[in-house]
Each structure stands twice: as C-alpha cells, then as structure tokens.
C-alpha cells in the first residue's frame, strides 16, 4: 500500500539541532554525517492518545546504537525527552502520530569519512507526522522473497539501528516491481530473517516461531510480542525458519512500530490459509492493544 500525503502534516514543526523549525525550513547541513555517509542512527516511535509507546525501550536501543557507533557529545535521555515534549506540544499532537527520531554524528569540519572531523557533536532530529498504521491490519498484506540478503553480523550488525538502509530499500524495490506490499529478506544461510521494515513471526500447531535475531533488527514490538506470548502461556520458539515452513504455516504475521501487527496472507504466491481454530493471532493483537495505556508515557510527563 503506497502511503499518501496527509494534509494534517502540511504545517509541521520539526526539531533539528537545537531548534524547532517549520517543515520547509527544517534542514541539516550538507556537512552533516548523515548526508556524507548515512552516519546516523534512528528510532521510529508512536504516539497514541495514552502517550508515547515504549519510549524508554526505544531510547535504550538508541543509546546502545550510539555507543556501538562511538558517537560523542550524545544528548542525554532527559534532553531527548524534553526535545520530544516541546516538539509534540508545538504541533499540538495527541494521537495517530509516528515520530522519526534520528541522531546523526553531526556536522563535519570538512567532507570525509573520519569521525574525528566531527567536532560539534550529535545532531538530533525529531520528525513527528500524522501517520496511522501503514498496513491494512484487517485484510493483511502480500509479500515476496527478495534476492537481497539481510546483513549478517560479519558485515553490518543489525543490533545497530543505523541509517544505512540501502539493503532494505533494494529489497523494497523488488517487492514494488512484484506488486507486493513488502519484501521478505533471508539471512546469508537462506533462512527467513525479517521483512524490509518489520519483523516476522509464524504460528504452527499452537506454537509461535520467530527467526533468531542474528540478521534482523531486534524490534521493540517483537520484544513485546514475545512477552505477550509468555503471559498467554503460548510457546514462542526461536529457530531457523525456511521458506517452506513459512508457506505451510497456519498464520504468518509481521510486527513494527509503523504497522503494529499485520497478518501476512500471501508469500511468493502461496496463500497462507489461516488454518488455526483457536486464533492465537487474535489473542495476541488483543493483548497488544490492552498494553498500550500501561506502556505509554503521557506527553505532559516527558
Ligand atoms: C528493518 C526493521 N525491522 C524491524 C523493525 C521493527 O522494529 P520496531 O518494532 O522496534 O519498530 C524496524 C523498525 O524500524 C526496521 O527498520
């Protein structure tokens, strides 16, 4: 499903560096590391009427990424929350908002790869947009398997939520040409890893299965689904999952902040028949919705 421009986003105020600027004036320098080398990290957050969902878990991952990237002069958790609060208040936003929070290594004194050229410290960007979940979570989505492999820890460790998204973008281009909604990406051994922008799960004979988080991003939503399965007393097993296992699963679904929980109804032309009677997926979706209030931080309390 191709996203469309939402007129509610015409007058956005966006946080860049230390300022809040109108949409058309919010820019980074051409000397910024994100322009020079995609040298940045990011988090996608969601604001519900109950507040910003699982904010501290997202910030934990952001700080882990910043440490792995050896960033310096990183804003503190308190500073990021303050910036987030002022941005959401400036936009008078209270629900149906996706927030793309990016932290770049900052501006360089001259173009080049060397992080020692970054003398000014990190640049924080907070881009909030009205954006309801991007997939049709009732009808589900169709996916195709991409020939582009997910990076292994040998190449670029997926534990860093970095801005080098070309790997995923190439896979997405393939799915666009195939008329699908998203691309399934395999790991270097040919096992399912994740979709180009979401994590994948399957359900078979009353059990949930998920790929090892070796080549996929360890998603915050993925983590919550694992907790929910435990609470519901449903086994959630981590294993290598082959394409044939996915084709013959009772249910397949993907998870992420952008789309929440989305059923996958077709993979490479094979229909996923939703055979299971005691519908685990419905129970998981229900528990997820029930958790939103208790797992969200109100904007006023940021
Ligand atoms: C490649 C990839 N996989 C999975 C996810 C889902 O992660 P989360 O549940 O933390 O949004 C994302 C989100 O940014 C992603 O970029």
> Is the C-beta atom of 168 inside 6 A of ligand 1?
yes
pLDDT single digits (tens) 149-198:
999 999 999 999 999 999 999 999 999 999 999 999 999 999 999 999 99
Q: How far apart are CA 177 and CA 103, in angstroms?
A: 32
Q: Of the residues 44, 52, 151, 161, which should be mutated to test ligand 1's pocket, given the most ligand atoms within 8 Å of the CB?
A: 44
CA of 225 to the centre of ligand 1 (A): 13
What average pLDDT does the structure give for the chain?
A: 96
> Is the C-beta atom of 66 inside 6 A of ligand 1?
no
Phi, psi of 281 (to 5 degrees): -60, -40
**What integer pLDDT is reported at residue 273 of this predicted model?**
84
CA of 266 to the centre of ligand 1 (A): 21
**What integer pLDDT is reported at residue 38 of this predicted model?**
95
pTM, full prediction: 0.96
CATH domain 9-130 topology = D-amino Acid Aminotransferase; Chain A, domain 1 (3.30.470)
> Is the C-beta atom of 199 inside 6 A of ligand 1?
yes
pLDDT single digits (tens) 44-60:
999 999 999 999 999 99
**What integer pLDDT is reported at residue 200 of this predicted model?**
98
CA of 187 to the centre of ligand 1 (A): 16
**What integer pLDDT is reported at residue 274 of this predicted model?**
76
Q: How far apart are CA 37 and CA 25, in angstroms?
A: 22
Per domain, the residue ranges of the chain are: 9-130, 141-291
CA distances 237 to 225, 229, 254, Å, are: 12, 10, 16
- Is there a contact between 43 and 101 (Cβ–Cβ < 8 Å)? yes
pLDDT single digits (tens) 241-288:
999 999 999 999 999 999 999 999 999 999 998 776 669 999 999 999
> Is the C-beta atom of 260 inside 6 A of ligand 1?
no
> Is the C-beta atom of 257 inside 6 A of ligand 1?
yes
CA of 234 to the centre of ligand 1 (A): 23
**What integer pLDDT is reported at residue 278 of this predicted model?**
64
Q: How far apart are CA 24 and CA 42, in angstroms?
A: 21
Q: How many CB atoms lie within 10 A of CB 127?
A: 18
Q: How far apart are CA 23 and CA 7, in angstroms?
A: 13
**What integer pLDDT is reported at residue 1 of this predicted model?**
78
pLDDT single digits (tens) 184-230:
999 999 999 999 999 999 999 999 999 999 999 999 999 999 999 99
CA of 217 to the centre of ligand 1 (A): 6
Nearest atom in ligand 1 to the alpha carbon of residue 58 is: 10
CA of 219 to the centre of ligand 1 (A): 5
The mean pLDDT value for 281-300 works out to: 97
The protein residue with its alpha carbon nearest to ligand 1, atom 15, reads: 197
The protein residue with its alpha carbon nearest to ligand 1, atom 5, reads: 198
**What integer pLDDT is reported at residue 19 of this predicted model?**
97
pLDDT single digits (tens) 99-149:
999 999 999 999 999 999 999 999 999 999 999 999 999 999 999 999 999
The protein residue with its alpha carbon nearest to ligand 1, atom 4, reads: 198
The mean pLDDT value for 27-33 works out to: 97
Q: How far apart are CA 3 and CA 156, in angstroms?
A: 29
CATH architecture of 141-291: Alpha-Beta Barrel (3.20)
């Amino acid at each position: 499903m191709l996203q469309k421009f939402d007129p509610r986003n015409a007058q956005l105020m966006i946080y860049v560096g230390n300022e809040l600027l109108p949409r058309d004036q919010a820019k980074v320098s051409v000397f910024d590391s994100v322009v020079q080398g995609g040298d940045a990290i990011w988090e996608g957050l969601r604001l519900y009427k109950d507040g910003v969902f699982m904010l501290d878990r997202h910030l934990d991952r952001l700080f882990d990424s910043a440490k792995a990237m050896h960033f310096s002069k990183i804003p503190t958790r308190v500073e990021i929350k303050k910036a987030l609060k002022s941005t959401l208040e400036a936009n008078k936003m209270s629900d149906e908002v996706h927030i793309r929070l990016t932290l770049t290594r900052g501006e360089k004194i001259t173009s080049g790869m060397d992080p020692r050229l970054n003398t000014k410290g990190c640049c924080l960007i907070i881009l909030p947009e009205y954006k309801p979940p991007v997939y049709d979570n009732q009808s589900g989505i169709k996916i195709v398997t991409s020939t582009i492999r997910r990076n292994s820890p040998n190449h670029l460790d997926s534990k860093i939520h970095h801005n080098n998204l070309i790997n995923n973008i190439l896979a997405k281009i393939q799915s666009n040409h195939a008329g699908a909604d998203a691309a399934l990406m395999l790991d270097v051994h040919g096992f399912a890893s994740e979709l180009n922008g979401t994590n994948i799960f399957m359900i078979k004979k009353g059990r949930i299965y998920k790929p090892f988080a070796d080549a996929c991003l360890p998603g915050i939503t993925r983590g919550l689904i694992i907790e929910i399965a435990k609470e519901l007393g449903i086994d959630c097993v981590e294993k290598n999952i082959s394409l044939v296992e996915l084709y013959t699963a009772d249910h397949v679904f993907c998870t992420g902040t952008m789309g929440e929980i989305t059923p996958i109804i077709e993979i490479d032309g094979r229909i996923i028949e939703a055979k299971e009677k005691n519908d685990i997926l419905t129970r998981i979706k229900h528990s997820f919705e029930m958790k939103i209030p208790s797992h969200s931080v109100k904007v006023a309390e940021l």
